Amino acid sequence: MNGAGTVTGSPPAKKEPWLWRSTTLAGLTLAVPSLTYFGLNEILSEGYPSLSAHMAEFLAASAALFLTILTFKVYNEKENIGLDIRSIFSLRPFGRSAGFLLLFLAADLIVTWTSLRLIAAYYPDTEAPAAIEKLWTMPGNWFFVAVSTMFISACEEIMLRGLALNYIMKRAGFLKAMLWTSFLFMIFHAGRNWISMLLIFSNGALYALAYRRTDSLAVPCLLHGLHNLILRAAVIMDFDLWLS
């Protein structure tokens, strides 16, 4: 101990490997809703042929959201993230949250529209996935498909912008948290063309900023869900209708 009363010669504090820890955390937590959704959807579709496809998707998405919230609670306590589950989804003050929701939705739509133009120019043969087209073209299914879409989007936001983003923010600051979770968001949606991948990264950054500005996970959940609804509607139609 020196004259100032401080201890000398003590080893420096070891930095926590937040990058790989957060990647593992995001991967494990995203696996919960993904496996639940796809697995249960497959079981219901194959095992109960009388059950409509949109109802099977709705039930699978509901189960995925329930397990996501449960996983969120467990990891929030286990990783000592310190989120207050009672207030993390609050939209209060409503006027401020609604304003940011509209602002970021407008930014999302601009980025999405620009990306669709580029995809139409560089990948003119792009078609909607058959499963999405089938679900959205059957009569009377819009409500259930829309709700399912919002539920699955909420699962991803709870895990990435809820757990992973806050985990990194606590250890490395918001900028690194935003960039890394956006990168993970992009990687988890791999298998698309480069324009779509950039769109996904940009959306991830927008959702992180929306959460940062409102301190509410409800805002990025709504943004992500609305984005997917709009994009699903767009990809099953002729791009010329959207880009003319």
- Gyration radius of the chain over CA positions: 20
Asked if residue 156 lies in contact with residue 68, where contact means CB atoms within 8 angstroms, the answer is no
Helix runs in the chain, H state only: 18-47, 53-78, 94-122, 130-137, 142-157, 165-172, 174-187, 194-214, 218-235, 239-243
Determine the Cα–Cα distance for residues 166 and 55; give it in Å rounded to an integer.
34
Determine the Cα–Cα distance for residues 230 and 226; give it in Å rounded to an integer.
6
Task: State whether residue 66 is helix, strand or coil.
Answer: helix
Asked if residue 36 lies in contact with residue 62, where contact means CB atoms within 8 angstroms, the answer is no
Q: How many CA atoms lie within 13 A of 92 on its CB side?
A: 4
Asked if residue 205 lies in contact with residue 104, where contact means CB atoms within 8 angstroms, the answer is no
* pLDDT of res. 169: 95
| Long-range residue pairs from 226-232, CB within 8 A, at least 24 positions apart, any chain | 226/105, 226/108, 227/108, 227/112, 227/153, 227/203, 228/149, 228/152, 228/153, 229/146, 229/149, 229/150, 230/109, 230/112, 231/112, 232/132, 232/136, 232/145, 232/149
- Regions of the chain short of the pLDDT cut 70: 1-15, 127-140, 234-244
Q: If we measure between CA atoms, which residue out of 180, 134, 131 comes closest to residue 23?
A: 180
Q: If we measure between CA atoms, which residue out of 210, 232, 217 comes closest to residue 155?
A: 217
* pLDDT of res. 194: 92
* pLDDT of res. 97: 95
Name the pTM for this structure.
0.86
Place of tokens 């310190």: 82
* pLDDT of res. 13: 40
Which residue ranges make up each domain of the chain? 18-81+95-243
Q: Determine the residue type at 11.
A: P
* pLDDT of res. 61: 94
Cβ atoms < 10 Å from Cβ of 110? 10
